[in-house]
């Protein structure tokens, strides 16, 4: 028989809790740490290296095609024992500025209209020129007539949503297709957003997103891996206001 004052063999029987045992975290091996460091190094250096490489290719391409057009007496490479990288880019930028300055004058506009009249008489060249001119004016317009807002549209069927960009409000016969306003949207492909589809969608069928066009483009290029952060959106709205 147990004595009345005898303590129980298991303290938890009297409502006492066992001490909480915390197992130590498993040790990470050296190879695993080296693998993580290697992947971190790739994430940090890859964007920088690719940007430098693409910039080098662009500068080298422009230099190779523009530098030979510079007269020898005005080319610094004639007097230097080494080549000057970026000389072709600098000359191209100065030439474009001069062309823009001359075109803004009355004489330059007259020459431009005369050249466009000549091009307008060429059947195939006329279509290509007009299309390219309209695209460049839309993309480079300072009034922001290119991509305006980021939207979601049900494509290619109901229940599946795709990201798209508002380009303009439809006009003419397309605008009369629905009682609500018809919106022209560009639906890009992933990961190359330069190709895609032009869709005309009623405004009530679109879901307007709270993100900038730049964030939408990043989302498309990354195939949904880079999402905008709410804090960044709030900071941009405060800075813009």
Residue 184's DSSP bridge partners are 168, 200
Residue 46's pLDDT band (cuts 50, 70, 90): confident
Identity of the highest mean pLDDT range in 83-87, 119-123, 196-200, 228-232: 196-200
Determine contact, residues 219/226, Cβ cutoff 8 Å: yes
Give the span between the Cα atoms of 169 and 4, in whole angstroms.
Answer: 91
Report CA 180 to chain centroid distance, whole Å. Answer: 31
| pLDDT reading at 188 higher than 80 | yes
Q: What percentage of the chain carries pLDDT values higher than 90? A: 15
Confidence of residue 238 (pLDDT cuts 50, 70, 90): very low
Predicted pLDDT at 201: 92
In sequence order, which residues have a C-beta less than 8 Å from that of residue 222 and are 6 or more positions away? 191
User: Strand pairing partners for 45?
Assistant: none
- State mean pLDDT over 106-125: 84
**8 A C-beta contact, residue 91 and residue 71:** no
Residue 25 to residue 40: CA distance in whole angstroms? 22
Per-residue confidence (pLDDT) for residue 160, from 0 to 100: 93
**Cβ-contact 169, 181 below 8 angstroms:** yes
What DSSP element (H or E) covers 163? strand 161-169
Count of beta carbons in the 10 Å neighbourhood of residue 170: 20
What pLDDT does 26 receive?
A: 65
What per-residue confidence (pLDDT) applies to 143? 46
Higher pLDDT, 84 or 57: 57
Asked whether the beta carbons of 86 and 80 are under 8 A apart, the reply is no
Q: Please provide the size of the chain in residues.
A: 241
**DSSP assignment string, 149-162:** -EEEEE-SSTT-EE
Greatest mean pLDDT among 14-18, 38-42, 182-186, 235-239 lies in 182-186
- Is-above-0.85 flag for pTM? no
Q: What is the mean pLDDT of residues 197-224?
A: 90
């Amino acid at each position: 028989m147990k004595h009345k004052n005898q303590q129980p063999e298991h303290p938890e029987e009297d409502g006492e809790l066992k001490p909480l045992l915390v197992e130590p975290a498993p040790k990470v091996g050296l190879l695993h740490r080296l693998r993580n460091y290697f992947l971190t190094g790739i994430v940090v250096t890859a964007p920088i290296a690719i940007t430098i490489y693409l910039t080098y290719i662009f500068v080298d391409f422009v230099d190779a095609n523009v530098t030979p057009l510079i007269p020898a007496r005005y080319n610094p490479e004639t007097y230097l024992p080494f080549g000057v990288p970026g000389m072709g880019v600098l000359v191209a930028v100065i030439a474009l500025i001069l062309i823009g300055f001359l075109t803004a004058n009355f004489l330059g506009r007259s020459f431009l209209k005369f050249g466009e009249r000549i091009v307008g008489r060429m059947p195939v060249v006329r279509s290509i020129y007009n299309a390219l001119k309209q695209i460049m004016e839309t993309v480079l317009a300072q009034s922001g007539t290119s991509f305006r807002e980021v939207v979601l549209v049900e494509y290619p069927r109901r229940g599946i949503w795709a990201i798209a960009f508002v380009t303009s409000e439809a006009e003419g016969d397309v605008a009369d297709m629905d009682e609500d306003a018809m919106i022209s949207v560009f639906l890009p492909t992933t990961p190359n957003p330069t190709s895609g589809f032009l869709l005309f969608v009623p405004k009530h069928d679109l879901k307007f997103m709270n993100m900038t066009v730049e964030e939408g483009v990043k989302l498309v290029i990354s195939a949904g891996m880079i999402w905008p952060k709410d804090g960044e959106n709030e900071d941009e709205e405060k800075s813009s206001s």
